[in-house]
């Protein structure tokens, strides 16, 4: 009985040993398969890494490979929906990209040139405003002096000086003690307007370089007193400035207020014009 038990126990041990050897063999085969797959995977990884390095440096990202893979799949679907890509599309794209960059560069250059031009314009505006203010200051003093000769008061005022296109002048005048108001067609009489404009014109002409000055029919709406006052102003200015010649044209009789002047009279007699010279009696 004991021998039988020993034999059975021995058989059981041998059976278990055979099973363990079988399992060991199976595990060795699986290990070889895993090692072979690992080797192939490492070789594939190496190959793909080399291909990736040829395309460019590695991009640092916090995204997971799964997210990147999903985006790649989405891009493939969109590209597939676009259909076949035209041959040479990459060259066309590069050409347009280069043209676009050139246009951007030219636009930047144009913008820089515009800024420089605007800066220069602003500097010239400053010079222009300063010169205009200096000129009008001198003209204003002469204008007030001329008006005082006919018992009037006024001034020249600059308006909209900040805008070159809208800049202008306003004449303010007051007669017979009245406060100066803007010169227009509704406030002053015809004679007052003529006197104001003549006073300003003579003040302005005092600043020009031309040796010849002319006024035409300035006295049409003036009374005799104002007409003679302005003729005296012209005579005094001409006498004080020998290099300046004044031409005064008037339909009215000219009083003999000039010491050195040529007075030419044109008359229409029976349809024919006759020219005569007024000479001072000796």
Q: Which residue has the higher pLDDT, 268 or 198?
A: 198
**Under 8 Å between Cβ of 248 and 239:** no
Q: Which of 282, 152, 130, 166 is nearest to 225 (CA)?
A: 152
Give the pLDDT score at 2. Answer: 67
Instruction: Give the three-state DSSP class for 1.
Output: coil
* Per-residue burial over 150-180, b = 16 or more CB atoms within 10 Å of its CB, e = otherwise: bebbbbbebeeeeeeeeeeeebbbbbeeeeb
Q: Is residue 253 part of a domain?
A: yes
* Lowest-pLDDT range of 65-69, 87-91, 185-189, 214-218: 87-91
DSSP tag of 184: -
Domain of residue 245: give its range: 208-282
The pLDDT confidence band at residue 282, using thresholds 50, 70 and 90, is: low
Write down the residue that tokens 């799964």 correspond to. 66
**Under 8 Å between Cβ of 257 and 232:** yes
CATH number of the domain at 276, please.
3.40.50.300
Give the phi and the psi of residue 254 in degrees, each rounded to 5. Answer: -100, 120
Mean residue pLDDT across the chain:
85
DSSP string, 202-271: HHHHTT---SEEEEESTTTT--HHHHHHHHHHHHHHHHH-TT-EEEEE-SSPPPS--SS--EEEEEEETT
Give the pLDDT score at 102. Answer: 94
* Pairing label, strands 212-216, 272-278: unpaired
| % of the chain beyond a pLDDT of 70 | 94
Q: Is residue 17 part of a domain?
A: no
Instruction: Enter the pTM of the model.
Output: 0.58
Structure-token pair, residue 237: 């200015």
Give the pLDDT score at 278. Answer: 60
Structure-token pair, residue 201: 């014109």
Count of domains observed in the chain:
1
Q: Is residue 282 part of a domain?
A: yes
Cα 26 to Cα 28: distance, rounded to the nearest angstrom: 5
* Per-residue burial over 205-224, b = 16 or more CB atoms within 10 Å of its CB, e = otherwise: bbeeeeeebebeebbeebee
Q: Which residue has the higher pLDDT, 27 or 9?
A: 27
The pLDDT confidence band at residue 190, using thresholds 50, 70 and 90, is: confident
Most confident option among 68-72, 102-106, 264-268: 102-106
91-141: pLDDT as tens digits: 888 899 999 999 999 999 999 999 999 999 999 999 999 999 999 999 999
**Under 8 Å between Cβ of 256 and 281:** no
DSSP tag of 67: H
Give the pLDDT score at 145. Answer: 94
Give the pLDDT score at 223. Answer: 87
Give the pLDDT score at 258. Answer: 64
For residue 1, pLDDT over 60 is answered with no
For residue 74, pLDDT over 70 is answered with yes
Q: Is residue 81 part of a domain?
A: no
Q: Is residue 93 part of a domain?
A: no
Cα 152 to Cα 142: distance, rounded to the nearest angstrom: 13
What is the number of residues in the chain?
282
Structure-token pair, residue 102: 């050139």
227-244: pLDDT as tens digits: 889 988 888 888 888 888
Write down the residue that tokens 């794209």 correspond to. 93
Q: Is residue 66 part of a domain?
A: no
The pLDDT confidence band at residue 182, using thresholds 50, 70 and 90, is: very high
DSSP string, 69-109: HHHHHHHHHHHHHT-SPPTTHHHHHHHHHHHHHHHHHHHHH
Q: Is residue 267 part of a domain?
A: yes
Q: What is the CA radius of gyration of the chain?
A: 53
The pLDDT confidence band at residue 259, using thresholds 50, 70 and 90, is: low
Q: Is residue 279 part of a domain?
A: yes
Arithmetic mean of pLDDT, 194-205: 92
């Amino acid at each position: 009985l004991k021998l039988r038990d020993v034999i059975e126990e021995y058989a059981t041990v041998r059976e278990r040993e055979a099973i363990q050897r079988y399992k060991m063999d199976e595990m060795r085969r699986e290990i070889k398969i895993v090692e072979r797959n690992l080797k192939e995977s490492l070789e594939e990884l190496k190959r793909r890494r080399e291909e990736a390095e040829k395309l460019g440096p590695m991009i640092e990202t916090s995204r997971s490979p799964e997210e990147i893979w999903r985006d790649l799949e989405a891009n493939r679907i969109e590209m597939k929906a676009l259909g076949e890509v035209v041959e040479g599309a990459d060259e066309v794209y590069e050409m347009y990209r280069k043209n676009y960059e050139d246009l951007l560069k030219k636009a930047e250059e144009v913008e820089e040139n515009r800024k420089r031009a605007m800066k220069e314009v602003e500097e010239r505006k400053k010079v222009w405003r300063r010169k205009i203010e200096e000129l009008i200051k001198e003209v204003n003093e002469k204008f007030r002096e001329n008006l005082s000769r006919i018992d009037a008061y006024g001034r020249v005022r600059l308006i909209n000086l900040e805008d070159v296109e809208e800049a202008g002048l306003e004449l303010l005048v007051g007669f017979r003690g009245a406060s100066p108001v803007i010169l227009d067609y509704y406030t002053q009489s015809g004679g007052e307007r003529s006197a104001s404009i003549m006073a300003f014109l003579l003040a302005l002409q005092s600043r020009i370089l031309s040796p010849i000055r002319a006024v035409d029919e300035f006295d049409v709406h003036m009374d005799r007193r104002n007409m003679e006052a302005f003729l005296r102003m012209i005579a005094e200015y001409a006498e004080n400035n020998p290099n300046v010649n004044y031409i005064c044209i008037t339909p009215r009789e000219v009083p003999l207020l000039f010491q050195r002047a040529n007075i030419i009279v044109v008359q229409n007699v029976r349809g024919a014009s006759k020219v005569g010279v007024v000479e001072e009696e000796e």
